[in-house]
Structure 1
């Protein structure tokens, strides 16, 4: 969630730190700060709000040090103020932190009892005081960090800068990602720390990823890495190029708009990786970690939009592959501690591959003897590394906080997996496989057609922006899309919205329907199409304002007043991939019309690496 950067440079690093933090804006933040060594002394600049506020402060009060750390903060403990912004310091150490220190209250009280005075409300400041106290007792920076880390409980990534130590950074991770970057070419002799490759992209493509429990000592000569047992270890150095142009909005007003419009390309790219389009067959680039033919049950867990993708996929696995599915949000699954039969398969979904609750569910399932198949968008992520098999979506970096192209790429991959399971279980023959593959092959073009409805969606969004509440309805795979539509609208426009299975309308939600309530209905022409139209009739009878997302003739068949977003005709099996598009556009344009920041909605972060 927060962003961390550290640089030991050959010249002034303040500008480089701020630029790197700018590449981490997609994670979400509400304050930012840097610390550098000026003549050997720690000096900080911190500001609440966007990075432009920090930039203005640095323009008025510049820093010239060659060593520094930086941070974008998403508030978890204490308000988003300059006083709570990172870096935090005590004595001769400054620290930046991503994550949550769960036992910070107990540590804070212990430190107060020993005479420590705190300047902020954050959990992070206790880390600075622990290390600062150890330094004051005569320990070296490495000894002080090594002594302090075992006292911390929670998920965190940390970077430390020390007064009087111009050639030293120390980084540590436990449950949150942290990468080391090595200067090359004109930057030879420099070394970096970053929350991910994106932060370091223009500086280097040579990275090493710290593993769980690692901490690292960085100097301009290189990095020494230690594991949780304080033993020296080697971590593989990899090339991870990330071109700067990937983070350019181009002609779009927001990254979210750009990413919505990238979906035909990235969904097609993902499908082509898992299908043999020349033969019309499914062709996974990996071996399944279990015997799909005899697997009695599949367990799926994820959070947020990724959970919606899993919920859509549960219909496919059960209907096409005839495989029973149990699905639950990861934040519940990890604490419910369900019994799991050894040799079973756990499917986890996460764009970042670092989602805290999903990662905890992975580790629980692994301890229960499950094989792990993860769907992630970041191949170097913790989940990818800890899974038996990591299936990679090819969405590319997703900068907008509200997931769009990652969601549809997850759906594309899950659809391919459902076909692979069906083929292995003998529930489809070659002819049916070819038919379903052809349907998936058509999806990118159908998404492109759906995007052409954007001007109409934009007009509807202007009206939707006046609503106080919105109801989304769907059946079958459109039910999870109704949930996703409501989530998207809430995320970026802050309008209250709820998604319901259309058949549940009469079991309570119909009490909300009146002439002021927009009701958005997702109705592809599938086997429950007529049932869905019957539910819409119930809304019309109570003067509800209907927005129908369906095929062109649906409005005539409905026979009651409705505003229709007419999508192209399509086979129904994988319609969710296409129907996701107007749902995303509707949320986006509603937010924009209301003057909201669609890329960085309030209180949200891109990668939720804490509970």
Structure 2
């Protein structure tokens, strides 16, 4: 959620801040703003909506100044409008903030009693007033910031700037990510390395509880008690990627089409295609000795974990508990001493997933993580990380990150099966070969785009859609429904096909499209029975299957999307491609903001 940029530079920084904010658009936002210090005075420009609106304001009323802060806001407290947009001012203090100040109501009451007036509905303005009050009481800027930070409860990343201080930014992190970029005679702040990539690839990541003073020639980092701490500098991998749509209309479309390549890269990281083996993986636990694996994640990552549950249990005979992270962290489940935990997060900064990780850490459970950002907090706090090699995913609705997560999880499941003795060397070679074919099958699925685009024209006319699937196609049905509602705003639900008679069948009528994900497998005939129940009630069936499935369905479907015949193991990865395209084209026809759908954020770094 939100994006923060700060620059202590050598020339006018406002245009540079806006450029950096553009690289954070993928996080989702509803307003944006920039503040600079010019001639010792604070000034700002803010705008509701997209960055183009802020750029227009800056063109009409430019901001000078060699130091500044910028922000893209995703509304938590207060509606999305210019008044609530960051930066916020209080006397000689300017602030941008990502996160939620949980005790803001208490602090707001206290400050109002002290005579401070609030111009916005945000929790952020509380922090500005707290710092301003410290300044009014005689504290120097750094001390004022530190004193205020000690009063805050919640998850936050903050950047502060002060009137009259043209060589000082104060930054703080407690939850959401914040990084310091090192330049030559200038320094930077950013919510991630991508934002800073035009300026530097030398990054220091603040850790939870850190706050820092950032000047042109140095950064000094402290813990919450004010004690100096050392944080390492790293070369940011993410800066090597170009964030560009290429020839595609949207980032989401580009990322769908990147899947064959990035799936191949990811699988090659875990599999020896030549030797027909899974690669040795450094683990903080022994798969052979585990009696249970806990998997937890949010959103699409949770659905990837739900598919992985089938794989680990089927191939490795390893019992899996899968939880939505926001539930896992609070239900106080007993943890087995012979267990391990696996957390999945594209950004590696998902707040609920991180909290669940820390719950397992406190119980002494060994921890591994599947992440797309190797410098992320979840990666740094895990005993082992399994990176996905998807590259930056800019579209808010996850596509290539999802299939790369599945690629990692399938590889790990087979590795677990080998280590637990449930897969012979011959079977291991067969499964590795099947996985190695995934990029080719994904490429073949992409060639169905014209048929799917045509179907999407009709889907864009409806208000409700039901997705059905069995086995690994059940979580994939939920993912299909999630994708459709995320970007097209059409109400959609995913169900296990066997549950149809237990409630959802009441929804079926002539206006209800039912999308059935059904590769021809050992339970295909069961799914056909469910399709017949839908057909008998006039439901419009859209069948996603293979050649044999289409031949044996014997159902008059509205449309049949025929995929290549693929092995059971890789079917969820390959079948993800058409359900992504179906959601994408439907959203395009409906005219929604495909890459940045309303109310959503790419990286959910607060509860």
- Give TM-score scaled by structure 2 length: 0.99
CA distance in 1, matches of 2:578, 2:222: 49
CA distance in 2, matches of 1:195, 1:8: 16
CA distance in 1, matches of 2:151, 2:519: 55
CA distance in 2, matches of 1:552, 1:602: 38
- Residues 242, 376 of structure 1: alpha-carbon distance in 2 compared, 3 angstrom cutoff: closer
Shift in Å, 1:559: 1.4
- Within the alignment, does 1:270 sit opposite 2:280 as a pair? no
- Within the alignment, does 1:535 sit opposite 2:536 as a pair? no
Which residue does 1:602 correspond to in 2? 598
Counterpart of 2:120 in 1: which secondary structure? coil
Which residue does 1:279 correspond to in 2? 275
Q: How many residues align?
A: 606
Q: Deviations over 1:288-340 (max 9, x none)?
A: 21121120100110000000000000000000000001111000111111111
CA distance in 1, matches of 2:288, 2:235: 38
Q: Deviations over 1:523-555 (max 9, x none)?
A: 012221111111111111111100000012323
- Within the alignment, does 1:254 sit opposite 2:250 as a pair? yes
Which residue does 2:515 correspond to in 1? 520
Which residue does 1:457 correspond to in 2? 452
Q: Deviations over 1:199-246 (max 9, x none)?
A: 100111111000110011011111011122321111111111545762
- Within the alignment, does 1:435 sit opposite 2:417 as a pair? no
Q: Unmatched 5+ residue regions in structure 2? A: none
Matches within 5 A, 1:65-464: 65-183=65-183, 188-243=184-239, 246-284=242-280, 286-464=281-459
Q: Is the 8 A contact 1:5 1:20 kept in 2?
A: yes
Which residue does 2:42 correspond to in 1? 42
CA distance in 2, matches of 1:9, 1:91: 23
Counterpart of 1:307 in 2: which secondary structure? helix
CA distance in 2, matches of 1:465, 1:62: 42
Q: Deviations over 1:491-543 (max 9, x none)?
A: 00000000000000011111111111000000012221111111111111111
CA distance in 1, matches of 2:338, 2:391: 33
Q: Deviations over 1:570-601 (max 9, x none)?
A: 11122000000000000000000010111000
Matches within 5 A, 1:428-577: 428-562=423-557, 563-577=559-573
- Residues 244, 272 of structure 1: alpha-carbon distance in 2 compared, 3 angstrom cutoff: closer
Shift in Å, 1:150: 1.5
Counterpart of 1:596 in 2: which secondary structure? coil
Q: Deviations over 1:242-301 (max 9, x none)?
A: 4576211000000000000000000000000000111010004x3221121120100110
Which residue does 2:57 correspond to in 1? 57
Q: Is the 8 A contact 1:341 1:369 kept in 2?
A: no
- Residues 278, 458 of structure 1: alpha-carbon distance in 2 compared, 3 angstrom cutoff: same
Q: Unmatched 5+ residue regions in structure 1? A: none
Shift in Å, 1:2: 0.5
Q: CA RMSD in A?
A: 0.9
Counterpart of 1:165 in 2: which secondary structure? coil
